[in-house]
Amino acid sequence: MSVNNVKKSSSPWPILAIIFAVIAGLAVYFYQQLEWEEREVTTSPSWKVIANNYYTAEQLLNKSGYQVKTLSDALSLNKLPAKSTLVLLNPDGLLKEPTQKNKLMDWVSKGGHLIISPLDDKNSVDLQELFDIYLKDECDDDDKCETPKAPVKLVTVKVPEKEKEKEKENDTPVKKRAGVPIVFEKDNMVADIADTPRFYVDSKTTENVPESPKSEWDIISRFQFEQGWVTVVPLNLFGNDNIKQYDHAKLWLHVATLPDRNDTLYLVRYATLPNLLSWLVEHALYTLLAFGLCILLVLWRYIPRFGALIPTPPPARPSLTEHLKAVADFHLHNYDYERLVAPLREEVLRLLQPLRIQYTGSRSDTQLIEHITHYDIGLINQAMEGEVQYLNQFTQSAQTLCLLIDRLNSLQSSSSRRLNYGI
């Protein structure tokens, strides 16, 4: 009995599982040995932040649920809604035109809310004087500046309605604020003048703003102008670099909005004069439409049309007679009579050659022609050999040659080449 030893192949999966387990164990061990170090890295701002100094303030309004739009030219100011807020972040390009200041004042008087910075350039000062805002003890030309004015009292914002209701219910007056803290109605924020570089000015007084004992303090004021509101605030507090300081972000939300209104905010960063096309659409719309109609008519006239081609008429080809007549007129107008007579003389000599056989003898061409045709020998000599310099000579020679051609043709035995040279 023979025994066959069969070699059995073992499965590789157990070996692979052991290798994988060893690798996983080593990975876990080395991962536990790592020491993590946290570092704070400041990345450079994006191009949106670099191009827009108030990008953070704009995004804060958007994230807070307010509708924000940007105005890029002065023509858009004519379309502002009456109940809206306009923030002049950069009024340089907007206030260069004098009429824009009056438009802004009319818009505020109808219910608009204007937010401006207390600037000292000429255009800003002119706008501020329209709302009786004077900086650094400035006064209007009509005002009398000789008498000293009483100092302005620093006060807080209006008393909330809830406290007024409590006053009515309890019949006890609410304690008046001394003008030190600033209380915001929508949150629990309280800003103290002694600790923060800002304060409110009484909106009911018309006196000039006194110089602050602390130069780092900024003046923030809001007052009513007819049906609208004007807020004066240093807008540089809300730039990308300054809005993160103190509580400027929360202050920006209160300054840019009105408590009892949900306005759309229009920001003016770089307002320029309207371009020519916008101005024409605003002031000459019908002229633009007429000009466009003229362009369409011109295009309709000259633009190629796709379809069946119009057959081209055959070219006008003048006949041989017209060509010969044109050549003769050319020579006649240039007094070139010899060229006109030469073909007739050649034709006479050509017709004379066959007739020499019938008339023997040594005769010249003129003598033979005189013998055959019985014409005057003088006319024949003048027509065949004489110079033609004048019109009467050309007419006489041409008539004589044509008569000779007709006579010689009649004497030919073949009539297939008869030509009529009558004049």
pLDDT at residue number 292? 92
pLDDT at residue number 274? 58
Query: What would the pLDDT profile of 6-52 be if each residue is shown by its tens digit?
Result: 445 567 888 888 899 999 999 988 888 888 788 887 777 777 777 78
Q: Which of 184, 197, 179 is nearest to 246 (CA)?
A: 197
Q: Which of 114, 66, 55 is nearest to 263 (CA)?
A: 66
pLDDT at residue number 290? 93
Instruction: Report angle CA 8, 13, 16 to the nearest 5 degrees.
Output: 125
Q: In which residue ranges of the chain is pLDDT below 70?
A: 1-10, 73-75, 93, 135-219, 246, 270-275, 307, 413-423
pLDDT at residue number 9? 52
pLDDT at residue number 75? 64
Name the residue type at position 331: H
pTM greater than 0.85: no
pLDDT at residue number 192? 42
Q: Which of 181, 179, 191, 186 is nearest to 247 (CA)?
A: 191
**Strand ordering across the sheet containing 85-88:** 68-73, 265-272, 85-88, 113-116, 228-232, 218-225, 198-200
